[in-house]
Amino acid sequence: MYNEELKIYHSSYIRNARAIGVLWAIFTICFGIINLVVFIQPFWIGDSKNTPMTGHFGLYRYCLGRGLTQTLQCEGRLDDFNTIPSDAFKAATFFVGFSFLLILICIFCMLLFFCVHAEKVYKICMWLQIVSALCMFLACVIYPAGWDNSLVSGLCANGAEKYNRGDCTIRWAYILAIIGIFDAAILAALAFFLADRQEKLAFASHGLINGGPAAYGMGDRASISGRSIGSKRSFQPQPLAPEPTEAYNYHAEPLPLDRRTYQSKRRGSAAGSQISSSGAFYL
């Protein structure tokens, strides 16, 4: 009865872990898409109604209004860093690109679930997501240091300088990058939780195979090495049965007559002394 309940609990535990793992994989792919969009879209900062011209800036690409019609002309290429207007923009481009590369590796690492233990895959992805979140954080911190560029200050005006955007506004790509930092951090924490669950599932499966209680909250933790499965009380050494004495050894050879007489007299005297000590009878 106990093992049946344990198996039901174990099956439910596995289903929940798999469901959370699927959600983790889906949100990891979504973060990769967010990272790519943030990387290629030139909408980190842009004009407002108070700026003297129209335009917007991204990581490596920017668009500015030219002429009387303020037609947007976009410049900046990823394959030529000299076209990026600021060193801070170049550094931010590198960190966001590296963050996207790490997430891409993490997504490909999911294929390892078919040939490697899930706990190892989760731990690898956890570290990749931590470094990816760190790179995205550095990009968001470094990017405003390029606002003192002449092109940016020409668009934003009103004393635009490092970490001062002037009359420009923060656009959706910058906000999405900040959200991506927290997204990657949450995914890394979830990967750590799933790796820990996989370890507990290994303990639980070992306990079920050996007939002992599971390791997750139902009895003592089972040892994979097989030293202790179940509670300590069930493994207390039992006292050994006393070895039969020579008087009760019916398979032994019969004693000589004089020795049997001596032992019967000895047992009779012992019984008489016990009755005398109780105070009920006296010989």
pLDDT in tens, 199-218: 665 545 544 444 444 444 44
Q: How many CA atoms lie within 13 A of 219 on its CB side?
A: 21
Pairwise CA distance, residues 156 & 153, whole Å: 5
Residues lower than pLDDT 50 in the chain: 203, 206-237, 246-248, 270-271, 273-283
Residue 248 CB neighbours (<10 A): 8
Greatest pairwise CA separation for the chain in angstroms = 138
Q: What pLDDT does 186 receive?
A: 94
Q: 64 pairs with which residues across the strands?
A: 55, 73
Q: What pLDDT does 26 receive?
A: 94
β strands within the chain, DSSP E: 45-46, 55-57, 62-66, 71-75, 169-170
* Best CA proximity match to 62, nearest among 79, 78, 51, 50: 78
